Chain A
């Protein structure tokens, strides 16, 4: 690939090393994805086989089902809050409460809640087990139908602060932490609680579930009634990305007990342990990943024989950005969030004391999640430079790029095949073909964009010291689209960023 001069200069050697590392790294990444993919298929099949005859009625009728508190932080969600809370209240589970935290919204979120659910302030003794901003009032409904609804009104403090406040007022043994604008499957809680109840040897400290994309899906009464592939190409790219990330990546990591991230959009946690390890960290923007890593670290340091589970079923639906600008901000933030967590817990790196997370998960995140886009960007820049200087063999380079393209496309199509034989959500043939087409374009358009977002995220973190969140204004699921009995979800254009919004990330994919 490199044409050396007769005399091997130092530069030639460096170039040789550069190519060796770049090609070697790429092949290593490809092989690791393949291994994770195979593990996921095995795990998903096992899960489906085990659950093909599961009857959830036993637990639905059981007085012994553990209590779960659903924690839903909300900031300026007036467009959708009423319907979303109704959807939460109609979840199938015998023993749960819904805690909505109004995190100092500047819109009519709280007033709408008070009016709709006939709320009144009560003398609630908040246990400040986790430090939070001041809780102004706690509301309960006068209507006994909603007696499992608690609304907390507090000063604005961000998503982590709102979640900590919700934990403080919760009474459940477990907490289901969600984004209030997500749509949950009716049996979501039953499926998420099953791993906790099934584990006999270890202490299950958290479980996550699969988050899917709701753009263009039909919604009726807070439930998804028709699953569609999004119309916009950008959302289709994200659909593929989510499929790969959840269906292949997290299922495999779950089976290896190596998950470092339970998505902020959907995760059940053991409350006692969350409180013991200090709750959500206010100072980070990747609070979901940070908490997962901290809980694992805490459990290990306290000699708790623990496990983190993952349910491969699609349980939660969320809208994704349909504009490049919003997506850029979102990915920039995810990069900074992951980076913060990785740096805050650098002690884990190749530390055998922490077992799999120290020896496998953390190094993997560092090398393939954080460094991969940087190495890729750096490699591309150098390749352009080398080709201008004429020190590389362009034909081989083109072939290598074609190899990566071929691999990415094959991997995407393999993901679609796995989806087809497991959860089979996209039932129309045309929709499937649209995803295949998006898969052909994705490596050429979407992937370079993600690399760019990641590089700017790193730049912002290290050189600009940025910590503020981007924004994604919600139109609310209630907005009807013509010709549909239900409604279809479409993300709106972005709005100027609020100072500290509770919600802006659909899911840490």
Chain B
């Protein structure tokens, strides 16, 4: 054996440098591959152990949470329950990870329950120290930890954290900023929406949808800030303002809405027409004619034709009929025909069909008149 090693050693020493380099690389890679297999397997074991711990904690904690949520616990019993939970999650090595498991468990219950149970879970969240952990994470964590902390605090409706959260509504990291904006609306209601007044950064459509989803809970209350948003330099705030106006029936800023029909940004213009239609703002029809003539964008023209179908009268019937006859663009003919149908003017469409003016127009009219589509 010793001789073998000695011979191998002298063989390697005698090798040319380039051989040595390649041989070294080959051996390193094979060792690396073997080490990685071990790491993968260890990672697998770690995951299994976390899952087992998760199951164990859930098994022990869930009955206590259910007791707290569904029984009439007095103050003493509540404290005892918290002590019990603390004993379960207490561990020298895994306390942080156990608290994270507990956090997810409480969040899960909170998402799926309502009423009094809601309040008790919130109390549990505070008393057990999870709220403090979230606040610490918010102050000191990386961006994803900050964002998760804000998300947790808003999910658990920790209204008293609103002031801490509001400071992040214009934060440099987009993910943190979005979570903070969402949490502000969720915890602070329409009063906390003031951050929109001077928001410089763009809001994504996703974020607008989230904020709208929260705002829909205001149920047609008057939101006097809408005018400010409609006048904002930030187009995403303008679009959001229009969405609020439309979905919460904010009629009081019609003047601003009329101006936005001429906005240079296509998205804003499109939303403004949509909003005018939804709010039945028939006074703007003359403006819509004007915009129709001015614009070359098919999307805008389509929106105008659609609005005419909802807002218009006999004058608009004539305009729509003429559009079917003279327009070459399929989408516009289609939209005009659909508007006529919505206005209840099937007679106009039928007469058009009988006149057999153009093959394309006729097939579109047939399509529109077919109620099965």
Q: List 18 A-B contacts (CB under 8 A).
A: A53-B147, A65-B209, A122-B372, A123-B370, A124-B370, A125-B334, A125-B363, A125-B367, A127-B331, A129-B330, A194-B206, A196-B205, A197-B209, A198-B205, A407-B29, A410-B32, A413-B37, A429-B41
B326 at the interface (CB under 8 A from A): no
Which residues of the partner chain A approach B29 to less than 8 Å between Cβ atoms? 403, 406-407, 409-410
Q: What is the CA–CA distance of A53 and B150 in the complex, to the nearest angstrom?
A: 10
A53 contacts B202, C-beta separation under 8 Å: no
CB distance from B174 to the nearest CB of A (A): 8
CB distance from A192 to the nearest CB of B (A): 13
A396 contacts B18, C-beta separation under 8 Å: yes
Give the contacting residue for B210; candidates A1, A58, A140, A432; CB below 8 A: A58
B208 at the interface (CB under 8 A from A): yes
B25 at the interface (CB under 8 A from A): yes
A432 contacts B25, C-beta separation under 8 Å: no
B139 at the interface (CB under 8 A from A): no
**Smallest Cβ-Cβ distance to B368: which chain A residue:** A125
CB distance from A43 to the nearest CB of B (A): 14
Which chain A residues in 136-172 approach chain B with CB under 8 Å? 140, 142
B32 contacts A122, C-beta separation under 8 Å: no
* Binary flags per residue of B198-217, CB closer than 8 Å to A gives 1, else 0: 00001111111110110000
B25 contacts A403, C-beta separation under 8 Å: yes
**Smallest Cβ-Cβ distance to A46: which chain B residue:** B144
A52 contacts B36, C-beta separation under 8 Å: no
Which chain B residues in 119-159 approach chain A with CB under 8 Å? 144, 147-148, 151-152
B370 contacts A436, C-beta separation under 8 Å: no
* Binary flags per residue of A410-428, CB closer than 8 Å to B gives 1, else 0: 1001101100110010000
**Smallest Cβ-Cβ distance to B271: which chain A residue:** A64
Which residues of the partner chain B approach A492 to less than 8 Å between Cβ atoms? none
CB distance from A201 to the nearest CB of B (A): 7
CB distance from B371 to the nearest CB of A (A): 9
B373 at the interface (CB under 8 A from A): yes
B36 contacts A59, C-beta separation under 8 Å: no
**Smallest Cβ-Cβ distance to B211: which chain A residue:** A58
Interface residues of B (CB under 8 A from A): 18-19, 22-23, 25-26, 29-30, 32-33, 36-37, 39-41, 43-44, 47, 144, 147-148, 151-152, 175, 179, 202-210, 212-213, 236, 243, 247, 330-331, 334, 360, 363-364, 366-367, 369-370, 372-373
Interface residues of A (CB under 8 A from B): 1, 49-50, 52-53, 58-59, 61-65, 120, 122-127, 129, 140, 142, 194, 196-201, 395-396, 399-400, 402-403, 406-407, 409-410, 413-414, 416-417, 420-421, 424, 429, 432, 436
Which residues of the partner chain B approach A122 to less than 8 Å between Cβ atoms? 367, 370, 372-373
Which residues of the partner chain A approach B144 to less than 8 Å between Cβ atoms? 49-50, 52
CB distance from A421 to the nearest CB of B (A): 6
Which residues of the partner chain A approach B202 to less than 8 Å between Cβ atoms? 200-201
Q: What is the CA–CA distance of A105 and B36 in the complex, to the nearest angstrom?
A: 49
B209 contacts A62, C-beta separation under 8 Å: yes
Which residues of the partner chain A approach B209 to less than 8 Å between Cβ atoms? 58-59, 62, 64-65, 197
B44 contacts A429, C-beta separation under 8 Å: yes
Of A395, A409, A432, the most chain B CB neighbours within 10 A belong to: A409
A64 contacts B243, C-beta separation under 8 Å: yes
A420 contacts B334, C-beta separation under 8 Å: no
**Smallest Cβ-Cβ distance to A196: which chain B residue:** B205
Q: What is the CA–CA distance of A197 and B22 in the complex, to the nearest angstrom?
A: 50
B41 contacts A417, C-beta separation under 8 Å: no
Main secondary structure of the interface of B (DSSP, over half): helix
CB distance from B268 to the nearest CB of A (A): 14
B30 contacts A406, C-beta separation under 8 Å: yes
A416 contacts B40, C-beta separation under 8 Å: yes
Q: What is the CA–CA distance of A411 and B147 in the complex, to the nearest angstrom?
A: 33
Q: What is the CA–CA distance of A52 and B141 in the complex, to the nearest angstrom?
A: 15
Of B23, B210, B247, the most chain A CB neighbours within 10 A belong to: B210
Which residues of the partner chain B approach A400 to less than 8 Å between Cβ atoms? 22
Main secondary structure of the interface of A (DSSP, over half): helix
Give the contacting residue for B19; candidates A59, A140, A399, A436; CB below 8 A: A399
CB distance from B167 to the nearest CB of A (A): 19
CB distance from A78 to the nearest CB of B (A): 25
B148 contacts A53, C-beta separation under 8 Å: yes
Give the contacting residue for B204; candidates A126, A142, A198, A436; CB below 8 A: A198
Which residues of the partner chain B approach A120 to less than 8 Å between Cβ atoms? 372
B44 contacts A420, C-beta separation under 8 Å: yes
Which residues of the partner chain B approach A62 to less than 8 Å between Cβ atoms? 209, 212-213
Number of A-B pairs, beta carbon distance below 8 Å: 124
CB distance from A142 to the nearest CB of B (A): 8
B206 contacts A59, C-beta separation under 8 Å: yes
B26 contacts A413, C-beta separation under 8 Å: no
**Smallest Cβ-Cβ distance to B210: which chain A residue:** A58
Which residues of the partner chain A approach B26 to less than 8 Å between Cβ atoms? 399, 402-403, 406
Q: What is the CA–CA distance of A124 and B372 in the complex, to the nearest angstrom?
A: 10
CB distance from A91 to the nearest CB of B (A): 18
Q: What is the CA–CA distance of A124 and B363 in the complex, to the nearest angstrom?
A: 8
Q: What is the CA–CA distance of A129 and B179 in the complex, to the nearest angstrom?
A: 42
* A197-B204 contact in complex given A53-B147, A59-B209, A123-B370, C-beta closer than 8 Å: yes
Which residues of the partner chain B approach A414 to less than 8 Å between Cβ atoms? 36
* A124-B373 contact in complex given A399-B22, A410-B36, C-beta closer than 8 Å: yes
Q: What is the CA–CA distance of A374 and B247 in the complex, to the nearest angstrom?
A: 60
Give the contacting residue for B22; candidates A61, A140, A396, A410; CB below 8 A: A396
CB distance from B266 to the nearest CB of A (A): 12
Q: What is the CA–CA distance of A123 and B243 in the complex, to the nearest angstrom?
A: 35
Which residues of the partner chain B approach A65 to less than 8 Å between Cβ atoms? 209
Q: What is the CA–CA distance of A125 and B353 in the complex, to the nearest angstrom?
A: 13
Which residues of the partner chain A approach B366 to less than 8 Å between Cβ atoms? 123, 125
* A200-B204 contact in complex given A64-B209, A429-B44, C-beta closer than 8 Å: yes
B367 contacts A432, C-beta separation under 8 Å: no
Given contacts A53-B179, A123-B370, A429-B41, 14 further A-B contacts (CB under 8 A): A53-B152, A58-B213, A59-B210, A63-B247, A120-B372, A122-B370, A122-B373, A123-B367, A129-B330, A396-B19, A402-B26, A403-B25, A406-B30, A417-B43
CB distance from B145 to the nearest CB of A (A): 9
Which residues of the partner chain B approach A123 to less than 8 Å between Cβ atoms? 363, 366-367, 369-370, 373
Which residues of the partner chain A approach B40 to less than 8 Å between Cβ atoms? 413, 416-417, 420, 432, 436
A417 contacts B44, C-beta separation under 8 Å: no
**Smallest Cβ-Cβ distance to A128: which chain B residue:** B330
Give the contacting residue for B372; candidates A53, A140, A406; CB below 8 A: A140
* A124-B236 contact in complex given A49-B144, A409-B33, A429-B44, C-beta closer than 8 Å: no
Which residues of the partner chain B approach A406 to less than 8 Å between Cβ atoms? 25-26, 29-30, 33
Top 5 closest pairs, chain A to chain B, by CB: A406-B29, A125-B367, A49-B144, A197-B206, A125-B363
**Smallest Cβ-Cβ distance to A53: which chain B residue:** B151
Which residues of the partner chain B approach A125 to less than 8 Å between Cβ atoms? 334, 360, 363-364, 366-367
Of A122, A125, A417, the most chain B CB neighbours within 10 A belong to: A125
**Smallest Cβ-Cβ distance to B30: which chain A residue:** A406
Q: What is the CA–CA distance of A417 and B179 in the complex, to the nearest angstrom?
A: 31
CB distance from A399 to the nearest CB of B (A): 5
**Smallest Cβ-Cβ distance to B178: which chain A residue:** A198
